[in-house]
Structure 1
Amino acid sequence: MQKVQWGVLSTAKIGVQKVIPGLQGSQWCEVRAIASRNAASAQAAADKLGIAHAYGSYEALLEDPAIEVVYNPLPNDLHVPWTLAAARAGKHVLCEKPFALTANEAAQLREVADKVHIMEAFMVRFHPQWLRARELVRSGALGEVRAIQLFFSYFNRDAANIRNRPDAGGGALYDIGCYALVAGRFLFEAEPLRVITLQDHDPQFGTDRTTSALMDFGQGRHLTFTVSTQTCPYQRVQVIGTQQRLEIEIPFNAPQAEETRLWVHDGKSLRDGAQQVENLPAADQYALQGDAFAQVVRGLVALPYGVEDAILNMRILDAMVASSTSGAWVRV
């Protein structure tokens, strides 16, 4: 298969530190160009990363006829406008999460969804540890899965950071809470029926610095999570069944090119040594995501997660925001 040519909008940290190196180490992707609103910044990033072309505007990158796929890691409020612009230019788009600020905004992408492929960039859905976790759930090894518990946090009090700007879609729920709903949908293989949410907002920034929620997936299945932008860095996922529990050690920021671990425990002993450990081979989830999308672009496989999937993610986030205001359950 001929490698798919990628262009990257902006020199965002997630792009230059994670996604671009992942794509460059993948089998079917080639990063052809990077763009910034500052030509010098684009050129510096291109030189550092060994990218052939640098553009001083996003428009110039979209005009490059050799670029087939655009990766959009812009601030959240620019996801839809520039994904729409790229799609109208005939480019397929891998857009960072969250896809939009609301489900209605995300629905604008329906205009181009039948012309190009568009996918929200939840890289965890391609990592071996998540695929193995879902395999264990499907197999019945855990018994009937009743609950998923999730915690994800970091500490960021930088007033200039985009994650602390409410106008740009900052805050814990949008930045990392979106992983919780994807975890539930991925492992339960079902959609939440209703949600209830509690948020604490930073008095200076106005963003939610801690969000906790309960998601009802029906049939007695619950997902509870807490995400925070102002607590010590930590992440863990627990999947609790009637027979065993499964724990994903580093579920979201899995080290690139390092082994990962799953723990399975039947609960009969509280000692850590009683749990079974599964070591998963080293993998780069960004490379795997890029290769999966490249195969879609080449027509080898169907698009696994398209615009409608991303709109549903936003509908769930909309319900969580509404619940945090009302203090009541909100149906999705």
Structure 2
Amino acid sequence: MTQTPNVRWGVLGTAKIAREKVIPAMQRSAFAEVTAIASRMRERAESTAANLGIAKAYGTYRELLDDADIDAVYISLPNHLHVPWAVKCLEAGKHVLCEKPVGLSPAEAEELLLAAGKYPGLKVMEAFMYRFHPQWRQAKQWVTEGAIGDLKVIQSVFSYYNADPANIRNQVEAGGGGLMDIGCYCVSLSRLIFGAEPVRVLGMQEHDPMMGTDRVTSGILDFGTGSSHFTCSTQLMYYQRVNIMGTTGRIEIEVPFNPLPDKAVKVWLHRQSGTEERVFSDINQFTIQADEFSRAILDGTPAPFPLDDAVKNMRVIAQVVKSAAAGAWV
């Protein structure tokens, strides 16, 4: 494909996150152009394209992959379709930005990693957009610089209420449930801040008796030098917060996962000497993600986060589930 000033993106799926968050953010990117969208219902693709000013609408995913004018694909499909279609994108010569979690299991994630290895010129990345927000880069910098002393404990909570059985997030066969949908953030941020993998995990889950999905999951990740404690839920009052605690200080992130770009968010560094506050406003983490991944494509540099990171995250998620089933550390 001929390189253009911008990366030409196609979108698989018309999920709410794509329509309302990712596509509008990508359209503000300095290095990305959304040129096509596909849905299994052509009418839905056409209406979404019309609403968002996208030039092409396809009634099948295959048609979009066959479009030679598309350089990269953003996958916003349900979890169980992530790996199958990411592999098909690679086979079609497209770079891939895939929604989280990257798959349903470590085996699926490893399957994608193996497939990606066959196409060294193509980039694949899991779309954990929170990592691109400067509030997280500030938090990581504070930890690295020793601003809170020795890192010992991370506490994170992420919850919302959605008991609709028709919602894809509440369907077991599609990879629904709290841990896969939002608990994956808690696992990811723990590994990001500790800069390591947990040596053992302890999980506890409560499942919806009708839908079978985990509606509350709590976990402890033991990193040897410290631990991360989290709770995620699809049936609790909406809330999110992260505290990163060290021997001499604490970092508190007000809206850690999905801050609105038109609202200022705050991060605090609490120490005995006082509190330092950082305010971040007019920032769209989805746009930054699109900028940095597109630049990597254009410049031929590595993706901002390697696909191996997604595999490791899936392994920890699977261990939390295994521990919860066994009622013991694993």
For 2:44, give the aligned amino acid. S
> Is this contact kept in 2: 1:70–1:91, CA < 8 A?
yes
Is it true that 1:46 corresponds to 2:49 in the alignment?
yes
> Is this contact kept in 1: 2:39–2:59, CA < 8 A?
yes
**Percent of residue pairs identical:** 48
Q: Which residue of 1 aligns with 2:116?
A: 112
Question: What are the Cα deviations for residues 44-69 of structure 1, in whole angstroms up to 9, with x where unaligned?
Answer: 00000000100011000000001111
Q: Which residue of 2 aligns with 1:271?
A: none
> Is this contact kept in 2: 1:260–1:282, CA < 8 A?
no
Alignment partner of 1:121 out of 102, 105, 127: 127
> Is this contact kept in 1: 2:79–2:102, CA < 8 A?
yes
Q: Which runs of 5+ in 2 are unaligned?
A: none
Is it true that 1:261 corresponds to 2:266 in the alignment?
yes
**SS of the counterpart of 2:69?**
coil
Q: Name the CA distance, whole Å, in 1 between partners of 2:39 and 2:67.
A: 14
**SS of the counterpart of 2:277?**
strand
Is it true that 1:289 corresponds to 2:292 in the alignment?
no
Alignment partner of 1:142 out of 111, 126, 148: 148
Q: Name the CA distance, whole Å, in 2 between partners of 1:282 and 1:113.
A: 37
Alignment partner of 1:248 out of 253, 263, 273: 253
What is the alpha-carbon root mean square deviation over aligned residues?
1.2
Q: Which residue of 2 aligns with 1:33?
A: 36
Q: Which residues in structure 2 correspond to 1:10-29 (within 5 Å)?
A: 10-29=13-32
Alignment partner of 2:62 out of 55, 59, 69: 59
**SS of the counterpart of 2:111?**
helix
Q: Which residue of 2 aligns with 1:89?
A: 92
Q: Name the CA distance, whole Å, in 2 between partners of 1:162 and 1:284.
A: 26
Question: What are the Cα deviations for residues 65-92 of structure 1, in whole angstroms up to 9, with x where unaligned?
Answer: 0111100010100000111111110001
Paired residues in the alignment total 324
Give the deviation of 1:114 after TM superposition. Answer: 4.4
For 1:46, give the aligned amino acid. A
Q: Name the CA distance, whole Å, in 2 between partners of 1:267 and 1:179.
A: 30
Q: Which residue of 1 aligns with 2:298?
A: 298
Q: Which residue of 1 aligns with 2:314?
A: 314
Q: Which residue of 1 aligns with 2:196?
A: 190
**SS of the counterpart of 1:59?**
helix
Query: TM-score if structure 2 supplies the norm length?
Result: 0.96
Alignment partner of 1:223 out of 228, 231, 234: 228
> Is this contact kept in 2: 1:194–1:215, CA < 8 A?
yes
Q: Which residues in structure 2 correspond to 1:150-189 (within 5 Å)?
A: 150-189=156-195
Query: TM-score if structure 1 supplies the norm length?
Result: 0.95
Give the deviation of 1:222 after TM superposition. Answer: 0.4
**SS of the counterpart of 1:283?**
coil
Deviates more, 1:278-287 or 1:134-143: 278-287
**SS of the counterpart of 1:234?**
strand
Question: What are the Cα deviations for residues 272-327 of structure 1, in whole angstroms up to 9, with x where unaligned?
Answer: xx633211242100000011110111135322322211111111111111111101
For 1:31, give the aligned amino acid. V
Q: Name the CA distance, whole Å, in 2 between partners of 1:240 and 1:114.
A: 42
Q: Name the CA distance, whole Å, in 1 between partners of 2:10 and 2:272.
A: 49
For 2:79, give the aligned amino acid. N
Give the deviation of 1:128 after TM superposition. Answer: 0.5
Q: Name the CA distance, whole Å, in 2 between partners of 1:153 and 1:12.
A: 20
Give the deviation of 1:157 after TM superposition. Answer: 0.8
**SS of the counterpart of 1:309?**
helix
Give the deviation of 1:267 after TM superposition. Answer: 5.3
Q: Name the CA distance, whole Å, in 2 between partners of 1:222 and 1:265.
A: 19
Q: Name the CA distance, whole Å, in 2 between partners of 1:5 and 1:257.
A: 26
Q: Name the CA distance, whole Å, in 2 between partners of 1:75 and 1:39.
A: 18
Question: What are the Cα deviations for residues 231-258 of structure 1, in whole angstroms up to 9, with x where unaligned?
Answer: 1100000000111111000000111243
Q: Name the CA distance, whole Å, in 2 between partners of 1:118 and 1:300.
A: 13
For 1:223, give the aligned amino acid. S
Q: Name the CA distance, whole Å, in 2 between partners of 1:3 and 1:127.
A: 22
Q: Name the CA distance, whole Å, in 2 between partners of 1:181 and 1:36.
A: 31
Q: Name the CA distance, whole Å, in 1 between partners of 2:157 and 2:201.
A: 17
Give the deviation of 1:42 after TM superposition. Answer: 0.3
Q: Which residue of 1 aligns with 2:8?
A: 5
Is it true that 1:74 corresponds to 2:77 in the alignment?
yes
